[in-house]
Chains A and B, each alone.
Chain A
């Protein structure tokens, strides 16, 4: 089976940039109907109008067309040679950047800060499993929200209620800098790096999907409820919609620690996924 990774990357980047995720749109519509305050309703109406216009005009939902991050889950797919996968996916990102008039936001040298690329190279997180699938998911992360990422190496005896407070206090501090209403991704466990990657991956989880782990599902709901009491509101104008959803992913961790990663993601969280099945 010959897979055209370049085309896949191109399509994912264009789709993510122009077409707001269906699960997010549904939650936004519901929130807009529930807001009573005039400004909050105006803000949510603008967000929804924006998503319609972006799709219709094929114009980027947000001028920050993000940092492309690929999450690859490779099953038992019988591909002998994956040596060119990174290169081909990067080529697709470059093509989409040109074709879609996306902003060139990536600087090749973080210190010199002089030359931009065509949003390449992307970042890759690769994992393996025993399925018969190859999953390619692209997250394009805007940096207004990325700048609000937080990592904490907590005491292993930290209580759930303390985790709730930590997240709520963090978002209180973030305020409206990262385009609320937010999707909050939380990674618990692993190592420092793993907790952060998990927290990013958590923002990819559909808001329609309920966490199968009851304890985590409860924790997600508790945090969401507390965040919506902050009254930051859509785009910071006050109101009851500060958070669209909280998603938690966990991983085994060390007896001496409890890493906690918090990824703040905007109302225009952009991701797209392609699943290739092998039989």
Chain B
């Protein structure tokens, strides 16, 4: 199924854990250091590097781009390191996150409560995922290098619904043989 940003309520309701979807639109990269900074900025009531409302965060720190490329190798990093920050961000409007691996129960609860979604994508496939990126621009924290916030425009980027808005998890379904 092809889907587009922003992810509206009706679409999110249709997404089910175990679905393979192809996303087009705009997403932001943010990983360990940026999460720490964003939470600090929220605590101080300061302006954030991008509007969280209906946003999508991709846990990714790409390799440097070569001259003619848009971006380097750009696969997902392990999501669980961002777990402790995620429910607060969901509360403030974050709609979806993209990464790899399981999430904490706290994050699953927040996804359910705020009607969001957690996607995984193909880990360790950064050269392949590179081909779905149409543009990349650093929009904040340039000094963090690979960890800077980048606004990516993506086209038909492959994603698996890992936690849906009902709180269903792919890791429960796979052990019960419910994924085909």
Contacts and interface: CB of A to CB of B under 8 A. Distances in A.
B72 A39 contact: no
B126 A63 contact: yes
A233 B61 CA distance: 25
Nearest to B63: A103
Contacts of A186: none
Contact of A104 (B146, B171, B174): B146
Given A101-B64, A176-B102, A235-B100, A63 B180 contact: no
A176 B99 CA distance: 11
Given A236-B171, A266-B124, A179 B100 contact: yes
B128 interface: yes
Given A39-B179, A64-B77, A177 B127 contact: no
B154 interface: no
A46 B177 contact: no
22 contacts: A50-B122, A53-B130, A59-B72, A61-B73, A62-B75, A63-B72, A63-B73, A63-B74, A63-B126, A63-B146, A101-B65, A102-B63, A105-B146, A175-B101, A177-B102, A178-B101, A232-B171, A235-B123, A235-B124, A236-B171, A238-B173, A266-B124
Interface in B134-180: 145-146, 158, 160, 162, 170-171, 173-175, 177, 179-180
Most chain A CB atoms below 10 A, which of B20, B77, B122: B122
A62 B179 contact: no
A54 B126 CA distance: 8
B131 A53 contact: yes
Contacts of A179: 100, 123-124
Contact of A144 (B100, B131, B145, B160): B100
A105 B131 CA distance: 23
Interface in B36-77: 60-66, 69, 72-75, 77
B87 interface: no
Interface of B: 18, 20, 33, 60-66, 69, 72-75, 77-80, 100-102, 120, 122-131, 145-146, 158, 160, 162, 170-171, 173-175, 177, 179-180
Contacts of B79: 177
> What is the interface of chain A mostly: helix, strand, loop, or mixed?
loop
A60 interface: yes
Contact of A39 (B18, B62, B129, B130): B18
B29 to A, nearest CB: 10
Contact of A50 (B66, B124, B174): B124
* Interface size classification for chain A: 35 or more
A208 interface: no
A230 B102 CA distance: 15
A59 B20 contact: no
A87 interface: no
B101 A238 contact: no
B128 A49 contact: yes
Interface string A30-42: 0000000111001
Nearest to B125: A50
A57 interface: yes
Most chain B CB atoms below 10 A, which of A39, A49, A238, A239: A238
Most chain B CB atoms below 10 A, which of A54, A63, A147, A238: A63
A62 B76 CA distance: 9
Interface string A228-266: 001111011111000000000000000000000000001
A267 interface: yes
Given A39-B20, A39-B160, A50-B126, A236 B120 contact: yes
B128 A53 contact: yes
B73 A59 contact: yes
